[in-house]
Every structure is written in C-alpha cells, then in structure tokens.
Amino acid sequence: MHAARDAGDLDRRLFLAAAGGAVAAGAIPRTVRAVEAAHLRQPEDADDAPAPEGISLRTIIEAEKLARMEFSPEEREQILNSIEGLTGLYDAIRGADLANHEGPAEVFDPRLPGFNFNPRPRRARHERISPGAAPDDETDLAYASIAELGAWLRRGDVTSVELTRLSIERFKEHGPRLESVVTLMEERALEQARRADDELSRGVDRGPLHGLPWAAKDLFDTAGVRTTWGAEPFKDRVPERDAAVVARLGEAGAVLVAKTTLGALAYGDIWFGGRTNNPWNLEQGSSGSSAGSAASVAAGLCAFTLGTETYGSIMSPSTRCGATGYRPTFGRVSRAGAMALCWSLDKVGPICRSVPDCAYVLDAIAGPDPDDESTVGVPLNIDMTRPVRGMRVGYLKDEFESDRATDEDAETLRTLERLGCTLVPRTLEPGPYGGIIFFIISVEAAAAFDAMTRSHADRAMKWQADQAWPNTFRMTRLTSAVEFMNARRLRRRYMRLAGALFDGIDALVAPRRHGALHALTNMTGQPAATIRQGFRDDGTPFAVNLWAPLYRDADLLALAAALEREFGLWRRRPPLFS
C-alpha cells in the first residue's frame, strides 16, 4: 500500500514539475483521516472540505453539471487531491504570453488519404474584352469591371490617379452613410497610383490589377497604418508589416485605398464605430463579418475588396449586399498577417462585383506561403474561357422539392440545364453541422483572445449581447477538452462525408443560403461562390450559392461566371449610390 501511495505521489509531483512549479508539491498530501471524513460528507456539506485555491468538493460537484457527468464521493476526492496540478499547469500556460498569430502545432489539412493533383501550373486564362471608350459619367466608371478598367488604363483613357481619386471621393461621400470605412489611406494610395501610372507609361505591366483601387477588411495588417480588428481593445493597434495578401496585391500593382469595417473580431456587422449598413437598404445591417468590404464594393466605392470567412463571413455579407463573394479552398491563400479567429477554419477570399473579377483577384493572391503552414502548392490554373457544357452539377434533390425552395431556385436548375450541365441528385444526411462548427470556432477563438478575456478588456467592446464574443469567450472557458477533441474527431468524419457528397461531380448547388452546407463545407474546406439570384419586392438582393470539390476552384469560377451571365443581374446598382 505504501509503495502504491508513494508512486501516486511521485506522479503528482512530476505533473507539478511539468507545470513549471506553479504549485508547491507539499500542498498536496492529506491525512487518511481527512480523506475518510471527506468521503462521509454529504454534498450540502462539501463547502467545508479543505480546498486548494478555493476549490472544494462543492466546486467539483457543480462542475459535474457543466460536464454532464456524475462522479462518486471517492472519485470527487481524488479529483480534489489532484486538481492543483491542473490549475498550476493553467498558470504556466498563461505565463507563456501567446500572441494572436501563434497557432497550434496541428495544422488543418482538408485532403483525405489518396488525394492527388496535377502539379503543373498553367497561366490563368480570362475572356478577352474590347470595351468602348471610357465613360464620361464617373458613376459608370466607378462600377466598371476589372477587365474594363484595365483596358482603359492601358489605352490611356484614364489614369490610376484618376481612378484612385474617384475611389477616395466616393469613400468620403458614401462611406459615412454605409459606416463601411475604418481608415482612408489617401496619401499612401495616391503615391501608389502615381507609381502605377509611371510604370505603365514605361511599359512595366504588373498584371490585370495594376493601377486599380481596392480596399482591405481591417483585419489585414498594413505597415504603419492601424489595423483595428473592428474592436475597441485594438482600435489603436498599428502593425509593422503588411499582411501577405496586402504585399501580394502591392506586387500586382493594385492601389490600397481604404481599410473597411468588420464586425468586432470578425463576427457580425457591429464594430466599435457603429453598424455597417446594406447599400440597398440603409436601415438594414450589411451582415458580417466582411461587412465593409461587401458594402463598399456593392456601392461602387472601389474596384474590388478582400474579406475572410470562418463560417459565412464572405458569403453572408455578399448575399445581403448583392456582391459576388468567393471563398477559396482552405489553404489556397495565405493568412499571414491577418487576425486569427480560428486557425483551422479561417480563409481569405475576394469580394467583387462579378465572378470574373473574383478570378482576377484570386489569381493574384493565391499560392503557398512559408509563413502560413496551411497553404499548399496545388496549382490554381484558372481558365475562364472553358465551356461549362458537360459539367456534372449536383443538387440537393429533397431540398429543391421542399417548400423552402423558391421559383428562383427552380429557375437556377433550368438555367444550368440550358448551359448544358448534367444535373445529378445528391442527398445530405442530417447532422449537427452548425453546432459542431460553432463549437470548434468558439474554442479556437477563445484561445486566440484568451488574454483579452482574462484582462477583462472585452468589457470595452460595443456589442455585449448573449451571442456576442465577450460572453462566448467567457462561457467557452468552461468547455470540456474531451468534448472538443471529440468534435474534432467528428469533423474528420464529416470530411469523409463531404468527400462522398462531392465525388463524381464538378459542383454542387442548393436552394438559397443553405445553412447545413455552409457549416459542413467550411469545416471540410471546399470552395464556394455567391452570386445574385434575384431581387425582393423591396428591392434588396438575394443570392444563390455553389460549391465545388476541394481545389476545383477553377471549375467553380467558370461555372459561377456562366450562371451569372445568364442571370444578367450583376451590373444592377443600389439606387442610393448610382
């Protein structure tokens, strides 16, 4: 008995040593009489038990309710005898002072065993256009496509400085109504525009985005310019380096004009300055979290924007604001220098006015980056000239035949058939997809902003509703690590399920904004596109979403562009900004 007891005491001492000596090992031993007495106590007397750091048998009993477990009196006493080692380890971990960008050792990879790809990259192919002369009307110029603007720039009809000044003026005039701008980068933008004009005049052409004004969601670092993450505790934060995507767009010659709003810490459309509004209805929020990016591009304030998505933050505001949103396959685009919300789920993608515009931007920002281990070298190989006839498009048959499907949903299927696509019925088995993804996000995000929660800096945040981050982060401190690990195991099962769902098809479509597919594919990494599908009686837009198998971004872009052309809606402008 003594040998067994000594071995157990040694195990506890080793645990304490691993915790950095945060708790004195000598505080653990108890007399046999005290242990026996504790076993005889009833729960209502548990508060009288000897307690390390205020933890008593009553604490364990109450914690069981959160864990949905029930232990015996002997098991509770064992936990109480050992708990100091765990709390000591917590103190040691907290003392490490982890920064937001320091992710976990495990890097999410959406590829299942047996995944293969052609490693040979090809130059992107885009449809050639020959637009007429640049319009005299500045609003027409503000809403022009990337291809049109590029043609006029190279022909000398307009200059980058003119386009940039137009963007700056529109941000100044309309940004306050939309509440879509955190920082206007006027001086830096005009300097970049002058450089772009000089290079183009000397025959230096950096590509389709050269000289075009764009805006970045304010969670992408910009050297010397504040990057606020939309939240009060970080509103004066000024990084020293540009995010990877900001640097890549700079190399492509694009002109960064503004930092756009996001819901605080990438959730919703409420930021420290107010609520970002829908350009089609200013009484309505723009949805989030890429709120300012979607609202700004839909209102013609810049040529294109960037957003991020963890669980709908590109697709949702694009739907609300009538923008075209594209969420690439997980790992297509580097997140280095972007605020981390959920390391295993965050994705960076373009928000534009059309699918071809998204293709131009994605081509400029995609590719592996040693500073983001989640990025992979699967070639993008965009080909916007490829025919979509013969594509196999899956559709959720039960959903399209249900009451939730609309006339517009039925017309979408007919349009795909007119384009020569083969419709393939698919079924998505029910599951707690939304609950599981939010559970994973909550835990990772609570870890990413742990220091803010522990310092109570979260109390300064504008949005304090039950569903807002401050309460979520506090509540998540009580989460079971076992349940979190099992949720990750369930995510692996969902990866296999998604692999079967997308097997043998080139794309997948569902009625309107399908919540289950958004949750599932954000967890499993498939790309998605949002395009306008129609307009309600009140004039606000709604969208249809398409998904594709992993790394089939090029096919999805080609199909979404063909569907967008058939709908003929993408050029329609919000009346208040036209």
Both 184 and 301 in one domain: the answer is: yes
Both 154 and 63 in one domain: the answer is: no
Structure letter (DSSP) for residue 509: E
End residue of a domain, out of 59, 94, 129: 94
Residue 210 lies in a domain: yes
Residue 102 lies in a domain: no
* Residue 224: count of CB within 10 angstroms of its CB: 10
Residue 456 lies in a domain: no
Here the tokens at position 484 are: 């979190």
Q: What confidence score (pLDDT) does residue 86 get?
A: 84
Both 426 and 364 in one domain: the answer is: yes
Residue 446 lies in a domain: no
Residue 527 lies in a domain: yes
Here the tokens at position 204 are: 């230096």
Here the tokens at position 376 are: 């992979």
Q: Which residues carry out catalysis?
A: 217, 289, 313
518 vs 497: CA distance, rounded Å: 14
Q: What confidence score (pLDDT) does residue 84 get?
A: 86
Structure letter (DSSP) for residue 345: T
Q: What confidence score (pLDDT) does residue 404 get?
A: 87
Domain with residue 418: its CATH number is 3.90.1300.10
506 vs 555: CA distance, rounded Å: 7
Are 269 and 289 spatial neighbours (Cβ–Cβ below 8 Å)? yes
Count of the separate structural domains present in the chain: 2
String of DSSP letters for 21-89: S-S-GGG----HHHHHHHHH--GGGGGGS--GGG--HHHHHHHHHHHT----HHHHHHHHHHHHHHHHH
Residues whose CB is less than 8 angstroms from the CB of residue 227 and which lie 6 or more positions away in sequence, other chains included: 218, 219, 220, 221, 234, 237, 238, 239, 259, 339
Are 165 and 196 spatial neighbours (Cβ–Cβ below 8 Å)? no
Q: What confidence score (pLDDT) does residue 513 get?
A: 66
Residue 356 lies in a domain: yes
Residue 133 lies in a domain: no
End-to-end Cα spacing for the chain = 85
What is this structure's pTM? 0.90
String of DSSP letters for 220-278: B-BTTB---TTSGGGTT---SS--HHHHHHHHTT-EEEEEE--STTTSSSEETTEE-EE
Both 293 and 347 in one domain: the answer is: yes
Q: Is 279 exposed, middle or buried (0-12, 13-18, 19+ CB in 10 A)?
A: buried
Both 223 and 296 in one domain: the answer is: yes
Here the tokens at position 273 are: 């300055």
Residue 121 lies in a domain: no
Give the range of the structural domain holding residue 86, as residue numbers without chain letter. Answer: 2-94
457 vs 461: CA distance, rounded Å: 8
Both 77 and 211 in one domain: the answer is: no
Structure letter (DSSP) for residue 373: T
Both 388 and 274 in one domain: the answer is: yes
Both 88 and 151 in one domain: the answer is: no
Both 297 and 356 in one domain: the answer is: yes
String of DSSP letters for 161-187: HHHHHHHHHHHHHHHHHHT-EEEE-HH
Both 155 and 87 in one domain: the answer is: no
Which residues on adjacent β-strands are paired with residue 541?
Answer: 535
Here the tokens at position 279 are: 């350009």
Each of the 578 residues of the chain gets a pLDDT tens digit; together they read 444 434 444 343 333 343 333 333 333 333 333 333 433 344 444 444 444 568 999 999 999 999 999 999 999 999 999 888 888 888 899 999 999 999 999 999 999 999 998 889 999 999 999 999 999 999 999 999 999 999 999 999 999 999 999 999 999 999 999 999 999 999 999 999 999 999 999 999 999 999 999 999 999 999 999 999 999 999 999 999 999 999 999 999 999 999 999 999 999 999 999 999 999 999 999 999 999 999 999 999 999 999 999 999 999 999 999 999 999 999 999 999 999 999 999 999 999 999 999 999 999 999 999 999 999 999 999 999 999 999 999 999 999 999 889 999 999 999 999 999 999 999 999 999 999 999 999 999 999 999 999 999 999 999 999 999 999 999 999 999 999 999 999 999 999 999 999 999 999 999 976 799 999 999 999 999 999 999 999 999 999 999 999 999 999 999 999 999 999 999 999 999 99
Both 78 and 173 in one domain: the answer is: no
Report the sign of the C-alpha dihedral through residues 223, 224, 225, 228, in that order: positive
End residue of a domain, out of 94, 127, 159: 94
Both 46 and 171 in one domain: the answer is: no
Q: What confidence score (pLDDT) does residue 53 get?
A: 65
